[in-house]
Structure 1
Amino acid sequence: MTCKSGARAAFLAIGISMVGAVAAFSVSGQQAKTSENPHATVLSIGGSVTEIVAALGQEHRLKARDTTSTYPPSVESLPDVGYMRALSPEGILSVGPSLILSEEGAGPPEALDVIRAADVTFVEVPDALTTEGILRKISVVGDALDVPDRAGALAAKVKAEMQAAISDAARPEGDKKRVLFVLSTQGGKINASGTGTAADAIIRMAGGLNAISAFEGYKQITDEAVGQAAPDVIVMMNRTGDHAITDDALFDMPAIRLTPAARERAVVRMDGLLMLGFGPRTAEGIRHLNAALYEQGI
């Protein structure tokens, strides 16, 4: 057995023993299950999943949420079990959910092993970068919550909204703004989006052109690469704390200073969940970004 697999096995063994203790703590919640509604109490992990639960009219069943779940604002009053990629089995099981709905990519894997070993139904909701992917998310959540009719109605509404938003945002190839999505600027380095990301997908849906196409995913890029990308617009998430940067500081960065975006001071800041969540409000995000890129003269 390798050290890695041995450590994982030890983590699982400790976690399973911990499950018993947590189960005793939350026994009253488990007893609240009924044969008529075995999934009365739901923990939602992932902002878009939580949005779907609420859009299906099932917010009253939510018992807790993760840090990325911030919409609708009313869910912020729920217990927060932590960031979806750094989950603690003890924290999750202590809230006593009967159903966990988790966006794909939650972790770490060792924590999920412990959670799946508990007497809790765990449903993973697939990631999405397309309209069809969003509809699949809605279907999976609707089935897990046993509200397929509501899910069908929501999917039809979202499909129509997405088709209209993408159609309205379409522009001729020669008239598209070159957009650089900057994930972070920590340490004075640009971490940007290549292809195959939520940022790349929504930029294209909103009628823009991703200025970075040489790689997939989010990566730190050189000052020279930013210059060669020659973005017309910088797009960023609204950030606070250590991840925040002012417009003056952004456009004074050597990597950004000589780009067309810097000359026009063209930067768009958006709510990260609205822009990258790929949930029920994505059509709104497309329209918001399209308007920022074009209608407001950026």
Structure 2
Amino acid sequence: MKHLAIRRWLTAAAWLACTGALHAAGIQITDDRGVTVTLAQSPQRIVSLLPSLTETVCELGQCHRLVGVDRYSNHPASVRKLPQTGGGIDPNIEAIVALRPDVVLMATSSRGVQRLEALGLKVLALEPKKSSDAQRVMGKLGQLLEVPDADRIWRAIDAGVAAAAQSLPPGARSLRVYYEVSAGGYAAGTQSFIGEMMARLGVQNIVTPDLGPFPRINPEYVVRANPDLIMIGTRNVQGMEQRPGWVGMRALREQRVCVFTEAESDVLVRPGPRMAEAARVMARCISEKGLR
């Protein structure tokens, strides 16, 4: 009995020592640059400079840790009251520093990373571009914020996307779709998270895989492809019928065009926790315009 008690004591002591060592090491996250960022403890003051990251922090139930956001972060509504610190392309360095953040979340393509780090701030660069990236980013932010059920939250989101896909009849698989993401003819390619969403919903993307995730498409390319359905945001739709040859396309002749509101477009173009909602928006478009 004495030996058993000693073994139990040694086991407990080893566990406590291990736990203490992990706590002493702090939290270490390797970001999308391949840089390992170390924090002494989970950050309590966070500046987010990418809407999808802002939304993910809030989906993890940690909105209260945000002390500043970029000018485009507008969901949930509570973040609109926070100080704005510029955009990903043009972050307001002085405003960010003044907020005394424990960590700054921003895209890998964002400017200002090196300057912020030179000023002594911790920067975690994460930029989801595909569905798998959105899942990975949620996991990393769950680790950063010490939220243990990040995987469960993601599974619920993915189940929502699957449910939206199951709501569509088999006839959706024959639809050929063009999705215009932004002005200037930038389209959602098959390799983008929007293209992946289209594939999960069963429709065919007229943009071929070799063109990349978000290629700039010549208007004539769309005319030659002659899609059954066009998806476009209200910000880009003006002048669409004046594009060379477009008025003769089936989608325009038969009014098979979904024009997404600004709010819907925000949901659709952000690879993050609202992807199930994005799938429902897209599925509704397919049902109402593509399958009539």
Alignment of 1:1-298 (within 5 A): 39-102=43-106, 104-108=107-111, 111-130=112-131, 132-147=132-147, 149-169=148-168, 171=170, 175-186=173-184, 190-213=185-208, 215-239=211-235, 244-246=236-238, 249-270=239-260, 271-295=264-288, 297=291
**How many residues in Structure 1 have an aligned counterpart in Structure 2?**
249
**Aligned-partner SS, 1:268:** strand
* Cα distance change, pair 157–218 in 1 and its aligned pair in 2 (3 A): closer
CA displacement, residues 159-207 of structure 1 (integer Å, 9 cap, x when unaligned):
332333344447468x432111223445xxx333333223322222233
Q: 1:235 to 1:281 in 2, by over 3 A?
A: same
Question: Structure 1 length as normaliser, TM-score?
Answer: 0.74
Question: CA separation of 1:266/1:137 partners in 2, compared to 1, >3 Å: closer, same or farther?
Answer: same
CA distance in 1 between counterparts of 2:116 and 2:178 reads 38
Deviations 1:52-85 (A, max 9, x none): 1111111111101112311112211111112212
Question: Is the Cα contact below 8 Å between 1:178 and 1:210 reproduced in 2?
Answer: yes
Unpaired runs of 5+ residues, structure 2, are 1-39
Residue pair 2:219, 2:243 contacting (<8 A) in 1 also: no
- Please give the secondary structure, in 2, of the residue aligned with 1:221: coil
What is the match of residue 8 of structure 2?
none
Change (3 A) 1:219 1:136: closer
Q: Is the 8 A contact 1:202 1:276 kept in 2?
A: no
Describe the SS at the equivalent of 1:101. strand
Question: Does the CA-based 8 Å contact 1:179-1:209 persist in structure 2?
Answer: yes
Deviation at 1:288, TM superposition (A): 1.5
Gaps of 5+ in 1: 1-34
Change (3 A) 1:128 1:220: closer
Structure number with greater Rg is 2
Q: Is the 8 A contact 2:42 2:145 kept in 1?
A: no
SS of residue in 1 equivalent to 2:177: strand
By how many angstroms is 1:43 displaced? 0.7
* Structure 2 Cα separation of the partners of residues 159 and 191 of structure 1: 26
Q: Report the Cα offset of residue 118 of structure 1.
A: 2.9
Tell me if the contact between 1:45 and 1:84 (Cα under 8 Å) persists in the aligned partners: yes
**What is the letter of the counterpart of residue 116 of structure 1?**
E
Q: CA deviation at 1:285?
A: 0.9
Instruction: Summarize deviations over 1:232-287 as a string: whole Å, max 9, x none.
Output: 22212342xxxx444xx322322421211111122223323311212111012112
Query: Could you tell me the percent identity over the aligned residues?
Result: 24
Q: Distance in 1 between matches of 2:42 and 2:282?
A: 41
Instruction: Give the secondary structure class of the aligned counterpart of 1:60.
Output: helix
Is the Cα contact below 8 Å between 1:129 and 1:198 reproduced in 2? Answer: yes
The aligned residue for residue 16 of structure 1 is none
Retained in 1: the 8 A contact 2:42–2:144?
A: no
Moved more, 159-168 or 47-56: 159-168
- Calculate the aligned-residue CA RMSD, in Å: 2.6
Q: Which whole-Å CA distance do the structure 2 matches of 1:294 and 1:107 have between them?
A: 37
| Segment drifting more, 204-213 vs 137-146 | 204-213
- Classify the secondary structure of the residue corresponding to 1:274: helix
CA distance in 2, matches of 1:112, 1:195: 30
Q: In the TM superposition, what is the alpha-carbon distance from 1:227 to its structure 2 partner?
A: 1.1
Residues in 1 aligned to 2:246 and 2:219: alpha-carbon distance in whole angstroms? 8
2:231–2:259 Cα contact (<8 Å) kept = yes
- The offset of 1:295, in angstroms, is 4.2
Aligned residue type for 1:78: L
